[in-house]
Chains A and B, each alone.
Chain A
Amino acid sequence: MKTGLQKFTEKFVEGLLFISGSITSLAVILIVLFLFKEGWGLFNETPVEKGSVIALNKSNPVQQLSAAQVKNIFDRKITNWSEVGGNNDSILIFSVNDITNFYSEAELGDSLQFVPQRISELMGKKSGIIAFLPTEYLAKNFEGRILPLKKITLKGFLKGKEWFPTAQPAAQLGILPLILGTLWVSLFAILIALPFGLATAIYIAEIADNRVGKILKPVIELLAGIPSVVYGFFGLIVIVPLVQRTFNLPVGETGLSGALVLAIMALPTIITISEDAIRNTPRAMKEASLALGATHWQTIYKVIIPYSISGISAATILGIGRAMGETMAVLMVTGNAAIIPHSILEPMRTIPATIAAELGESAHGGLHYKALFALGCVLFVMTLVINLTVDLISARKKYSK
């Protein structure tokens, strides 16, 4: 007795549900789109903020400089043009404020109206000069040569060793220290969490009697539920001083502090997924082992763990993924120094912490803003790789059963 209306309702609801079902796909696509749209713009720009230029004397044969070279020149680490492929001529650094060293106030005009002209003159005179100038100080017939900077490349972005996005005159956008910081902290966290997580998973699934297991479950659920900012707070007040005292460090905000906090936070993921995997081992396989005279422990490490290894690896990888993406706790305890780490006892800075700490200060649409979105893209790709790996592992597990 299906009426037309009823049929229509059925179809209508199904359509509605389908739309809802598609929303995650849509969300993922939108996230990718927006992230890459904002981030990709970075690679069409030079590391000098809009509105400023770097200029040389016309006779200077240097055709291009990288952001790192510019920084080294302005930091006076490079003092001769021959070091960057030019003539043997010492480098003279010039910025607008230095103009009074070369010209008297009278020459600059009483309302400084001659400044652009004088700068231009100076640029023509000094062969070794390099100037960082706002574009409004460029005279019409500028006698210097505006130096095109190398565009930011993906390779340079990923491999650059310095992250100093607000540096003048050229932003240093190398995220290698951030990538390494992220990896160090999260891998260390898993290294700490894995033995405990696995031991607990085995304990709950195999050793503990039901009553104890019933106590542990909510404990783990609660551990998973505590907000990361609370972990960060706890880390800041308890773990950071502890690490500082134990290792006698100048500061306690180190990679290790972050790793410890992350380890606690990664535990629930590792425990629940490994426990599931362990419980999924067929009873027959366990019994076969015991029937051969193996002890329970021998059965666990010779049969149950090998059987559930794909689930355990999935748990581990997921744990790493969680740790890599964790923001607040890490931001609060790792010290956030953007340097390439040499030891876990140094301050470190991770990608998410960088985004969280800096996005608020970056101008919308500016170089820094785009760089942070590009950083978000890198983080996204890293976690995507992790998720796909986990999917692959679980798919293979199903296949082998």
Chain B
Amino acid sequence: MNPDPAKIHRRKQLSQRLVFALFTLMSAAIVLVLVVILGFIVVRGLPAINWGFLTKMPENGMTEGGIFPAIVGTFCLVLGSMIFAFPIGIMSGIYVNEYTNDGPVKRFMKTMTNNLAGIPSIVFGLFGMALFVNGLHFGDSILAGSLTLGLLVLPVVIRTTEESLKAIDNSFRIGSYALGATKLQTIRRVVLPMALPNIITGLILSIGRISGETAPILFTVAAYFLPKLPHSIFDQVMALPYHLYVISTSGTNIASSRKMAYGTALVLVLIVLALNLLANALRRYFGKKVKMN
């Protein structure tokens, strides 16, 4: 071979070492970005958070007081969209994975789910406004907002269910059929219980998504300033993400509402963080249990 092998070897090793070092640094940069974002929000937000902040109404042009109605509002919206999206999404996932064979029906349903997942959240907002708020005359309401948000997370729920069901080996189903169980019995007694841990983990993560979405609720439910709690599903509510948007960009006095903004951002981040930790803990817990069996 013509070139000097030792030299080539050195060059190969050197370029590998350089590139790998670079990649390591770039990955570290991403961790750093997360740390900076979280650190920034935690450090600035922590002083704003106290009992009053979490339990009081906003006061004085939203520069003082608390964010209680926004917390309640977000809670209502999360609950509402869970009630709508979880059962339908899980059933849909079961249908696609258990009742369809690889064929046009399955392909079509999957493509549609993908398409729905790819629709930008603001388009959901437009749709929610056109159908729920104006078309069905729900007005700006928890109902309209929950349905819109529910539609948005539906593909997430479906995919989570599908993936969890797919991960279960076919031998379990066959074993159950062999004992004379029907398809429905097999799904209910064998497949679903085994898939449930993964489904639950996925659903917990999707709650984070619901609680942080802003664009879909802009025109379907969110109130700029509403210092009272909702009485029915036809009431408007404040919501955490929208509240953060409002007080950081268009509040009456942006400078003096900064502290409130930091606090709100921290609450949002804490919700997501808590859900992530919970999901990871569950994953580990269930992971161990599965191994023990």
A residues apposed to B, CB below 8 Å: 2, 6, 9-10, 13-14, 16-18, 20-25, 27-28, 30-31, 34-35, 37-38, 195-196, 199-200, 202-204, 207-208, 215-216, 218-223, 225-234, 236-238, 264, 267, 271, 295-298, 318, 321, 324-328, 332, 352, 355-356, 359-360, 364, 372-373, 376, 379-380, 383-384, 386-387, 390-391
Question: Which residues of the partner chain A approach B273 to less than 8 Å between Cβ atoms?
Answer: 222
Question: Which residues of the partner chain A approach B88 to less than 8 Å between Cβ atoms?
Answer: 20, 23
What CA separation (Å) do A70 and B125 show in the bound complex? 33
Q: Is B265 in contact with A230, judged by CB distance below 8 angstroms?
A: yes
B176 close to A (CB within 8 Å): no
Question: Which residues of the partner chain A approach B182 to less than 8 Å between Cβ atoms?
Answer: 2, 6, 10
What are the 10 closest A-B residue pairs judged by CB atoms, nearest first? A325-B120, A227-B212, A21-B95, A20-B91, A17-B95, A297-B16, A199-B26, A387-B118, A327-B215, A20-B92
Q: Is A225 in contact with B275, judged by CB distance below 8 angstroms?
A: yes
Q: Is A18 in contact with B131, judged by CB distance below 8 angstroms?
A: no
B209 to chain A, nearest CB (A): 7
Question: Which residues of the partner chain B approach A380 to less than 8 Å between Cβ atoms?
Answer: 119-120, 123
Which applies to chain A's interface (DSSP): helix, strand, loop or mixed? helix
What CA separation (Å) do A180 and B13 show in the bound complex? 44
Q: List 26 A-B contacts (CB under 8 A).
A: A10-B183, A14-B99, A17-B94, A17-B95, A18-B99, A23-B92, A28-B119, A30-B131, A31-B127, A34-B127, A196-B29, A203-B23, A203-B27, A208-B24, A225-B276, A229-B241, A230-B244, A271-B30, A295-B13, A297-B12, A321-B118, A325-B118, A326-B120, A332-B248, A355-B122, A379-B120
Q: Is B127 in contact with A28, judged by CB distance below 8 angstroms?
A: no
What CA separation (Å) do A34 and B130 show in the bound complex? 7
Q: Is B184 in contact with A9, judged by CB distance below 8 angstroms?
A: yes
Q: Is B22 in contact with A199, judged by CB distance below 8 angstroms?
A: yes
Q: Is A383 in contact with B15, judged by CB distance below 8 angstroms?
A: no
Known: A30-B131, A223-B30, A372-B126. Contact between A234 and B40, CB under 8 A?
yes
What CA separation (Å) do A295 and B18 show in the bound complex? 13
Interface residues of B in 36-65 (CB under 8 A from A): 36-38, 40-41
A292 to chain B, nearest CB (A): 12
Known: A31-B127, A219-B31. Contact between A199 and B244, CB under 8 A?
no
What CA separation (Å) do A298 and B276 show in the bound complex? 37
Question: Which residues of the partner chain A approach B15 to less than 8 Å between Cβ atoms?
Answer: 295, 297
Pick the contact of B122 from A30, A196, A356 — CB < 8 Å? Answer: A356
A62 to chain B, nearest CB (A): 37
Closest to B114 in A: A387
Q: Is A204 in contact with B27, judged by CB distance below 8 angstroms?
A: yes
Question: Which residues of the partner chain A approach B70 to less than 8 Å between Cβ atoms?
Answer: none
Question: Which residues of the partner chain A approach B40 to less than 8 Å between Cβ atoms?
Answer: 234, 237-238
Pick the contact of A200 from B30, B95, B208, B219 — CB < 8 Å? Answer: B30
Question: Which residues of the partner chain B approach A225 to less than 8 Å between Cβ atoms?
Answer: 205, 208-209, 212, 272, 275-276
Question: Which residues of the partner chain A approach B205 to less than 8 Å between Cβ atoms?
Answer: 221, 225
A5 to chain B, nearest CB (A): 12
Which applies to chain B's interface (DSSP): helix, strand, loop or mixed? helix
What CA separation (Å) do A17 and B99 show in the bound complex? 9
What CA separation (Å) do A236 and B265 show in the bound complex? 13
Question: Which residues of the partner chain B approach A384 to less than 8 Å between Cβ atoms?
Answer: 115, 118
Question: Which residues of the partner chain B approach A220 to less than 8 Å between Cβ atoms?
Answer: 30
Q: Is A352 in contact with B214, judged by CB distance below 8 angstroms?
A: no
Count class of interface residues, chain B: 35 or more
Q: Is B99 in contact with A34, judged by CB distance below 8 angstroms?
A: no
Question: Which residues of the partner chain B approach A207 to less than 8 Å between Cβ atoms?
Answer: 20, 23-24
B18 to chain A, nearest CB (A): 9
What CA separation (Å) do A87 and B19 show in the bound complex? 71
Question: Which residues of the partner chain A approach B123 to less than 8 Å between Cβ atoms?
Answer: 31, 35, 325, 376, 379-380, 383
Question: Which residues of the partner chain B approach A356 to less than 8 Å between Cβ atoms?
Answer: 122, 125, 215, 218
Closest to B89 in A: A20
B134 close to A (CB within 8 Å): yes
B268 close to A (CB within 8 Å): yes
What CA separation (Å) do A278 and B260 show in the bound complex? 44
Q: Is A226 in contact with B272, judged by CB distance below 8 angstroms?
A: yes
Pick the contact of B276 from A14, A218, A227, A352 — CB < 8 Å? Answer: A218
B213 close to A (CB within 8 Å): yes
Question: Which residues of the partner chain A approach B184 to less than 8 Å between Cβ atoms?
Answer: 9-10, 13-14
Question: Which residues of the partner chain A approach B155 to less than 8 Å between Cβ atoms?
Answer: 24
What CA separation (Å) do A291 and B114 show in the bound complex? 40
Question: Which residues of the partner chain A approach B41 to less than 8 Å between Cβ atoms?
Answer: 230, 234
Closest to B216 in A: A327
Q: Is B37 in contact with A226, judged by CB distance below 8 angstroms?
A: yes
Question: Which residues of the partner chain A approach B212 to less than 8 Å between Cβ atoms?
Answer: 225-230
What CA separation (Å) do A199 and B31 show in the bound complex? 13
Q: Is A364 in contact with B134, judged by CB distance below 8 angstroms?
A: yes
Q: Is B130 in contact with A35, judged by CB distance below 8 angstroms?
A: yes
B23 to chain A, nearest CB (A): 4
Question: Which residues of the partner chain B approach A230 to less than 8 Å between Cβ atoms?
Answer: 37, 41, 212, 241, 244, 265, 268-269
What CA separation (Å) do A340 and B118 show in the bound complex? 27
Q: Is B16 in contact with A35, judged by CB distance below 8 angstroms?
A: no
Q: Looking at the complex, which of B105-113, B166-174, B191-199, B225-233 is the stretch in contact with chain A?
A: B105-113
Q: Is A297 in contact with B276, judged by CB distance below 8 angstroms?
A: no
Closest to A394 in B: B114
Q: Is B276 in contact with A383, judged by CB distance below 8 angstroms?
A: no
What CA separation (Å) do A376 and B95 show in the bound complex? 31
Known: A233-B261, A234-B37, A267-B30. Contact between A35 and B126, CB under 8 A?
yes
Known: A203-B27, A225-B205. Contact between A17 and B245, CB under 8 A?
no
Q: Is A327 in contact with B120, judged by CB distance below 8 angstroms?
A: yes
Question: Which residues of the partner chain A approach B100 to less than 8 Å between Cβ atoms?
Answer: 21
What CA separation (Å) do A238 and B135 show in the bound complex? 41
B96 close to A (CB within 8 Å): yes
Q: Is A24 in contact with B154, judged by CB distance below 8 angstroms?
A: yes
Known: A227-B212, A325-B120. Contact between A298 and B12, CB under 8 A?
yes
Q: Is B245 in contact with A232, judged by CB distance below 8 angstroms?
A: yes
What CA separation (Å) do A35 and B127 show in the bound complex? 6
B151 close to A (CB within 8 Å): yes
Q: Is A25 in contact with B112, judged by CB distance below 8 angstroms?
A: yes
A189 to chain B, nearest CB (A): 14
